Structure 1
Amino acid sequence: MPPPPPSAPASHHLRLWWRRRGRAGAVGATFAVALLATALLLALSSYASIVFPASSGRRGPALVGLTLVRRASEKGALCLDGSAPGYHLQGGSGSGSRSWLIHLEGGGWCRNLKSCASRQRSMLGSSRYMEGQVEFTGILSDDKSQNPDFYNWNKVKIRYCDGASFSGDVKDELQNGTRFFFRGQRIWEAVMNELVVKGLRNAKQAFLTGCSAGGLATYIHCDSFRALLPKDSRVKCLADGGFFLDVEDISGRRTMHSFYSDIVRLQGLRERFSHCNSNMDAGQCFFPREVVKHIVNPVFVLNPAYDAWQVQHALAPEASDPQHSWLDCRLDISKCSPKQLGILQGFRKELHDAISEAKQKRGWGFYINSCFVHCQSLNSLTWHSPTSPRVNNKSIAEAVGDWFFDRREVKEIDCEYPCNPTCHNLVFARPFKI
């Protein structure tokens, strides 16, 4: 069975439009988005900047340079191809000079040597292909109007190039005669050590965030992040679009379970996870439902109830739909039939059931909206703008800020689709090819 997407060639072009329910034409014309290069990284782990009209008066997002980890080879902290991993650091100022926001980039996973070899030739497996500068938008923005609570913090985007959510640590480099470096855990440790020296150790408050595969990594590393900081500092975590579900697809197979089992075996993750006991099979260890049971530090779960990536690759993957009866629904939720919508409502219930135990955790927060999107914290339109999605009249940024600073308890659970007219739902122009 084909896997959920590792990465696509850099020449692959995927066009997406935001559609707001009830005024799709206007929003679609105003906020067209072209996402290029590695399709999973850009289309499914984060969104490129929205193109605003020239008359909007908005200034462009900050461009932040790439820093490669020093002496990466000595530390064994290497991308899949053996190159040094990297991160982008923007210094804080004023009241935010001793506050840190760390973001773990997403971009899927590779389940076998073939797919990992493909990633070695992309920014998802090699710093040789990473951009020298990236835009900081959404929760990383330095514009107070777009990011009111975190705009002047020290902000870091850690690039993702290990293929297993910053969690593997395989000593052997040779796999079937080819060199692969499964060193995500060492990358995490090496970057954290550099940031500690650069001021993280003196942080009064710190926030670990991540999107998609980086959201899963946030669950995995939340408690170890807390351990790096002073005991009297405020430290919390945010996982955006990272609560992947162990569900049956429309053909009755467990596509994601099989995929995760391969990752765990390939990168030796069973031995890495203390929560992975002998009663679990390999794939089960990697699902957030199991990981979160053992997290002590407070986490904010930001997820759409109809996650576009999971609908396309876990619930209704192309391999499970040989008659293409789900094609239109996979591209545009507004084109789903009543029967398909019923299945999507069942998927929403699976998410609610999966997070039920986490809901009881003290100090945790939730924002589950009824939108057909994936990651929402890295895009200024969905994070915080006059037209942002809202639940109980709160944008995502407002809800997250309220929770982080203990201004109120935040457990926002939206009603069923299509109840929320503020959603910006993704519309895919053509099938997403793997």
Structure 2
Amino acid sequence: MVTLRWTFVVCVMLFLNIQSSEEVKLTIIESAVAKGAVCLDGSPPAYQFDQGFGDGVNKWLVHMQAGGWCHTVEDCVGRKTSPYGLGSSKLMYELNFTGLLSNQQDQNPNLYNWNRVYMRYCDGSSFTGDVEEVDHANELYFRGARVFNAIVEELMSIGMKDAQNVLFSGCSAGGLASILLCDKFHGFFSPSTKVKCIADAGYFPHVKDLSGEYRFEQYFDKIVTLHGSANSLPSGCTSNMKPGLCFFPEYTMPYINTPIFVVNSAFDTWQVANLFATNESDPDGEFTKCKNDLKECSTSQLQRLQEFRSGFLGSIDSVTKSPTEGRFINTCYTHCQTDESTWFANATSKLGDKTIAEGVDDWYNDRSEFQKIDTEHVDPHYC
């Protein structure tokens, strides 16, 4: 079984190790507690909001925080006391706005003056859980779906209901949520509002690990069961297969109507370590050095990584062929690219001579289709 108790810490550190551009106040929604919309530890949900200006005053970007998941009671108990606030708003602190959340025009030319929201993540289920019964023995609340509803309702009350243009995005576990909840989020708005979704590093393929097993499927099964997530997943998917499989985008996206843009590396570092070259499938640790440093990879290990890339591309190719869908699939050895310099400034991650920000802008504004895949590199590389 995959051991991922603290892997969400790595995701959060992505936000802490990049150059900051803006500090934004944390808002706690105290009134949500009465509705049962609470974090793992029973504390109220939270978000950060920076108001739009100029021609962005009626445009909104809602971005969901990364942070992995918890799949057992023990795992969730550890999560709710983590120092990064991923299970409790009592432990949250303000995270800087960067990349697609930046208010600097030179870093974020198309979204810098939109209303920008950072939806803070504190439930461990990609905002899908909804269990009425409280685990009093461990003081755990599995209410991610209610947290999501409470934050969106709060945003609607402070002006988002009048939005003309909306982007719903997320990174990693938040990127997965931006797929799973894309239609639900769209449903909060009037038909005249233009709503699209961006999933950054949230496309987790259903692929075999090094030993030829589908171990990660068991992990998603446990998340869905523990958190009671089935009712939050697209019903078209859950009526045709077990809910755990519907946590995988390739099975869910065919049932989603709102356009989605997938930003992902075909060699996503988190996926390589936790879906493919897992500790369970590599008990002797032969892949450890390779995972941590590409210069340490042997020829045979690079070939195995190419197999992972082929599986990833086969998976995503089956669900992003519609002209309404977008994709930016490079081979940068990294995880999450909309909150780092790769969003706009990094030339080494360009596809079709465009940055991620430029590709998303063309797609969102219907200027052209954007479905780029890096076919130049078959091996992972640093960007």
TM-score computed with the length of structure 1 as normaliser: 0.84
Question: Counterparts in 2 of 1:409-424, with a 5 A limit?
Answer: 409-415=369-375, 417=377, 423-424=382-383
Picking from 216, 227, 233, the partner of 1:267 is: 227
Q: Distance in 1 between matches of 2:118 and 2:30?
A: 16
Q: Is the 8 A contact 1:6 1:107 kept in 2?
A: no
Q: Which has the higher contact order (CA 8 A, sep 6+)?
A: 1
**Number of the residue aligned with 2:279:** 318
Alignment RMSD: 1.8
Secondary structure at the aligned position of 2:95 is classed as strand
Structure 1 position 91 matched with structure 2 position 51: yes
**Number of the residue aligned with 2:304:** 343
Q: Distance in 2 between matches of 1:282 and 1:223?
A: 17
Q: Distance in 2 between matches of 1:220 and 1:334?
A: 36
Structure 1 position 242 matched with structure 2 position 202: yes
302 and 107 in structure 1: CA distance in 2 versus 1, 3 angstrom threshold: same
> Which protein has the bigger strand share?
1
CA deviation after TM superposition for structure 1 residue 358, in Å: 2.0
Q: Distance in 2 between matches of 1:119 and 1:420?
A: 31
Give the letter for the 1:199 counterpart: G
Q: Is the 8 A contact 1:124 1:161 kept in 2?
A: yes
Structure 1 position 400 matched with structure 2 position 368: no
Structure 1 position 6 matched with structure 2 position 12: no
49 and 92 in structure 1: CA distance in 2 versus 1, 3 angstrom threshold: farther
Q: Distance in 2 between matches of 1:342 and 1:420?
A: 11
CA deviation after TM superposition for structure 1 residue 47, in Å: 4.0
Structure 1 position 150 matched with structure 2 position 111: yes
Segments of structure 2 that go 5 or more residues without pairing to the other structure are none
Structure 1 position 126 matched with structure 2 position 88: yes
Secondary structure at the aligned position of 1:408 is classed as coil
Q: Distance in 1 between matches of 2:238 and 2:343?
A: 37
Q: Is the 8 A contact 1:270 1:276 kept in 2?
A: no
Question: Counterparts in 2 of 1:324-335, with a 5 A limit?
Answer: 324-335=285-296
Post-superposition Cα deviations, 1:107-145, rounded to whole Å, max 9, x if no partner, equal 1110100000001102110011110x2210000000000
Secondary structure at the aligned position of 1:238 is classed as strand
CA deviation after TM superposition for structure 1 residue 248, in Å: 1.5
CA deviation after TM superposition for structure 1 residue 49, in Å: 4.8
Question: Counterparts in 2 of 1:280-319, with a 5 A limit?
Answer: 280-319=241-280
Q: Is the 8 A contact 2:206 2:315 kept in 1?
A: no
Picking from 42, 45, 60, the partner of 2:12 is: 42
Post-superposition Cα deviations, 1:161-185, rounded to whole Å, max 9, x if no partner, equal 111000010000026x222111011
**Number of the residue aligned with 1:430:** none
Structure 1 position 355 matched with structure 2 position 325: no
Structure 1 position 73 matched with structure 2 position 41: no
Q: Distance in 2 between matches of 1:283 and 1:136?
A: 33
CA deviation after TM superposition for structure 1 residue 352, in Å: 1.6
Secondary structure at the aligned position of 2:217 is classed as helix
Give the letter for the 1:69 counterpart: I
Give the letter for the 1:178 counterpart: N
**Number of the residue aligned with 2:97:** 136
Q: Is the 8 A contact 1:212 1:241 kept in 2?
A: yes
CA deviation after TM superposition for structure 1 residue 279, in Å: 5.1
Q: Distance in 2 between matches of 1:245 and 1:320?
A: 17
2 and 413 in structure 1: CA distance in 2 versus 1, 3 angstrom threshold: closer
Q: Is the 8 A contact 1:293 1:358 kept in 2?
A: yes
378 and 253 in structure 1: CA distance in 2 versus 1, 3 angstrom threshold: same
Secondary structure at the aligned position of 1:107 is classed as coil
Structure 1 position 197 matched with structure 2 position 157: yes
Q: Which stretch of the first structure deviates more once superposed, 268-277 or 237-246?
A: 268-277
Structure 1 position 115 matched with structure 2 position 87: no
Q: Distance in 1 between matches of 2:225 and 2:346?
A: 46
279 and 49 in structure 1: CA distance in 2 versus 1, 3 angstrom threshold: same
Q: Is the 8 A contact 1:345 1:416 kept in 2?
A: no
**Number of the residue aligned with 1:431:** none
Q: Is the 8 A contact 2:67 2:173 kept in 1?
A: yes
Q: Distance in 2 between matches of 1:357 and 1:249?
A: 20
Secondary structure at the aligned position of 1:375 is classed as coil
Q: Distance in 2 between matches of 1:194 and 1:398?
A: 30
* Count of aligned residue pairs for this structure pair: 380
CA deviation after TM superposition for structure 1 residue 418, in Å: 5.4
CA deviation after TM superposition for structure 1 residue 282, in Å: 4.3
TM-score computed with the length of structure 2 as normaliser: 0.94
Q: Distance in 1 between matches of 2:280 and 2:168?
A: 35
Post-superposition Cα deviations, 1:365-398, rounded to whole Å, max 9, x if no partner, equal 110001111100011x111115451112111111
Q: Is the 8 A contact 1:76 1:186 kept in 2?
A: yes
Identity %: 39
Q: Distance in 1 between matches of 2:320 and 2:100?
A: 24
